[in-house]
A and B are shown apart, each in its own frame.
Chain A
Amino acid sequence: MVQASPKTQTNYDVIVVGSGAGGGMAAYQLAVAGLKVCVLEAGRSYDPVRETPMFKLPRQAPLLGAGTKHKPFGFFDATVDGGWDVPGEPYTNAPGTDFKWWRARMLGGRTNHWGRISLRMGEYDFKPKTRDGLGADWPLSYDDLAPYYDRTEMLIGVYGGDDNLENTPGSPAGVLQPAPAPRAPELLTKKHSAPLGIPVIPAHLAIMTQRQDADVLPKKIHPNNPLAQKVLAQSMRQRAACLWATPCGWGCSVKANFQSTTVLLPPAMMTGNVDIVPDAMVRELILDASGKATGVHYIDKTTRTDRQVKARVVVLAASACESARIMLNSKSPQFPNGVANSSGLVGKYLMDTVGAGIGGQIPALENLPPHNQDGASGMHMYVPWWQYKEQLAGKLGFARGYHIEFGGGRDMPGPGIFGGLENFTDGAYGKRFKQEARRYYGSFMYFSGRGEMIPNEDSYCEIDPTVVDQWGIPVLRFHWKWSEHETKQAAHMQKTFAEMIVAMGGKVQGTVQTDGAKAIANGGEIIHEVGTCRMGTDPKTSVLNQYCQSWDVKNLFVTDGSVFVSNADKNPTLSILALAWRTCDHILAEMQRGNI
């Protein structure tokens, strides 16, 4: 049933579906350009200033804050109504597939809890096929996106070092904030990794180590736009620098890290040009007879009724799989396979990040003098991929690289602390257990690889014709397969981490798998799904052009991870933000030219 609003009926310039990285950036950029924007969010409204459980302790939560299926990253994690299983919103897997689809049904989406790791893609990452013959090239180059990376980093606040390594681009002077001093385990890792030829350098995270200069940055970021300068300066003045405590994944009430809800949506709202509709689950695009998008249908979750909103332009930013789902569910005689899908590629080339890890016990870290090691909650140092030359020469047996995220040491005691300590102490209990606990506390580290997956024909999502969710919307069915490039990479990760642990004088915990299929995380578990509506130069082999504009429907744009052509080891959020900004500039130019 379609229900008309009893209130004033209005039209917008732009509908933005989703309020996370891609949707938040689109709402902000289009609103400061003076357009009237309606943001539709499938989850509830969310206010990090009031709701973030800053400084809470594990004992203040059920089960000491441990993760459950309802709160997979722990009780205090910022995610609301999210996870790999969202009640009432199922998905299915084809036989033999065990893909996990993460959702976050809340204002700001996953930007509220994400890892804040903000790595630029490098020049190789945009032209992977040219370099090694696999996958596909992007229709743009690093140089095309670099100015948007610069401005995005200045806008959201990113700390990092000044390294400029092969395919690991640095940022121009004055763009990044200073990297925080490394922690003890990070320094120890750096020292012992150097002889292995493994570089340990400052990580780039969207966390502010100092307040932004609200007098200077807005003018740099938005030259010739007084409205943008005004709202951005106001927004920047409301952000504090990091307090060096309490996990970023819980959100940040002082706005020291990047969340759409603290960094993009507030200045967007200050323009007066944006309305946000929460609990609005978009199910289908509306098209006119000429094939142009005129609006969307959504289910108002609070009343379980179908509604419409109309606009000149529609921007999908609902997350890679959700945007593909909306397009595939938008069937009409004109678009029998779903809107903007003349290529048949909507839903195809789904990618995640390769993940594998291993832990170690490091005797050198035992009995360290007590000191505060919390830091910026995320990592201060990381390892960028370092074997480009060996790889290109075919010496590694897999085609693409990974970076290493690592940590450990004197973290706040939480649930599971000392799990498995019996293996180090021959089953100690009693007073000896307490002594062993004091000795071993702070001496455990963990190394995680995050690597590139090459898109393949066997990994995709489609509509399951037989299942709907509680909103009556047909659900996604996933198909998934890793290639040997990914499984061999995962085995290489574990082997390398074991070498690093041994080089530090440590003992590897668990089994180092030689069969990478036993080491690799399930598809979807790293929560970097991208690639279901890829960009390209040819309408036959891509869904979108280089500005993330549909080849088939000129006023339909996509600004989430679905536009990715490849999935470099660099975590996708920073690139989603930069691409979304570039898309918005194109939308404005196309509107000015009268094309849309």
Chain B
Amino acid sequence: MTEHVTADAAARRRYDIVIVGAGWAGSALAQRLGDKGWQVLVLEAGNGDTDTWPGFLDTLSTFRSAVAKVPNSAYRPNAAAPSPNVLDLAPVRNPRPGEPEFTAGGYFVQNGPLPYGTDYLRALGGTAMHWLGAVPRMRDEDFETRTRYGYGRDWPIGAAELQPWYAEAERLLGAAGHGQEQYDLGVVHDSRYEYPMQEIPRSYIDRYCKEAVEGEVITDPVAERDYTLTLYGLPQARNSTPNPRYRTDPPFRVRGAVGLPNFGERCVGNASCVPICPVQAKSLPLRIQAAFPRSVTVANRCVVTRVRRSGERSVSGVEYRTYTDPASPVSRSYVVEADVVVLAAHAIENARLLLFSELANGSGQVGRNLMDHPTVLSWALGAESKGPVGPFRGPGHTSGWEVFRFGEGRRRRAPFRIEIGNWGWGWATGAPMSNVATALGIGGDEHGEVRPDGVFGPELRRLLGSSVGRQLQLQLAVEQPADPGNRVTLDGRHRDAMGNPRPVITYDLSEHVRDGALAARAVAGEIFRRMGADDFTNHAPRDGVPPLGHFVHKGTDLAYSGAGHGAGTHIMGSDPATSVVDADQKTHEFDNLYAVGCGSMASVGTSNPTLTMMALALRSAERIHDSLATARRPVVIRTPDTTEATA
């Protein structure tokens, strides 16, 4: 188990590296740099109980007790280090035209036309505690959309450069996938590539969809192009069977749960990856932390407030505050010094820290280019004659249709990935519980009177067998390119309970993204039609209440949800005038300040970003090691031998 020190103990000494945030990126960097012998301090703002078994079981009970089983529902609120929650948003009844259709409470202040519906978690392990575990790579073209398709921003590095780092990240995360298929998809460059673990089995829903529409040609009415449906499996950081064809030097060993010895080595199909995998078959940063070398020190409940500048191009460490009671954050502050400072706190938190520290923002881009994967839901009931589809089983999704992600269609509209959902209408409608409520007729009519219609007993049981059993849902994740207008700013009037400034979010969807959402919805409708499924999708306002993320585009009501893929707030580039960090995730303006994580990404393609973030983090760890090793080399004063040799 990882040993944690108090805030006092953490400040008592100097470190080679201080890392802000104990999520995926921070944990990977700490492990790599610690293994090289550097003295590393990791400061985590949130609580740290999830790495004990009682603490982990508490999250499980919290999840089970929650009425709204949203991603953060398993984790207790923390006023000292608040997290945004999808429950913070509410729609406005009968909104005035041109006015926002939502209000935002909670941690974020939102002043844009559309809601930023993405959350994250400030706790040991970070947002990865409730990630799904999807680890698709990005394809070459995703790194240069400006050059190829005339939108977004290009990266200073490309897919070829990242291939070995992708492979390394897949090993560290413990990825299960089908190498050949991912090569065919064009995201893996090596035709003989093997994942560490064999592919996670596909769901019956995947098979049902494949049998219904594989090879069908669908016209995208926005791109005005035809696309042929081919189903691909999803690589996942989830324990399956070790792959006998994976390289054996060193061999890959499946890792189990943290906090309880000898538990949870394989996925058993809990079907709750988000918000919590009860057996920890889903990969978590806690695993990396459990293997931290002694040179790594972790301190929880340490909320970093500022980065300290020490010279023209250097920083000297960070200031942080600690608290004891998450409900009443009375805090004390500390300073800790290090040769290198790494911000790995989440895209929005990194931007918040840089802005509050007034550092590294010569380009004016800090906080700008905030991205996500706006996700349009579509849901339908499969035909009764084809039988139940088996919803609410297995990982959240195991296959998708990838063809709309790539190619010339991107010029006309944002690309999108079609995730085939395994969890019924849960996301869209709150099924299966809401199915029980509506079938019973509970809750009253629009006047509050007891409804007449409803079924009970054996008839209810039979109805649910079909009305839940045939639920299909497609999650259409649309690429959102870097747009400087989507941004995080600070406003001294809005502070959290500890006195730290809250992120002020300004967010909108561009025409290109809206076109992508419109195309995605049309394609999903057509797929359902070809499958003979009844499409129940309806994003229009009901009784004057628009759904969150609602907008009308070219006459069609649409709505999107946040995907939890916050990115782009300290964007990567080669020009210091237009970007915040370089390809190594080092800030252009400081020699020893790094901002790592999804905030560095110049584009997110249509891939869940964790894997790319981890590949970048591992690459940066190598660069930080090089820079420190170079800086520590003694100056050569006398070299008689060399002098003679050259003479």
- Are both chains from one complex? no
Q: Using a CB–CB distance below 8 Å, which chain A residues touch chain B? A: none
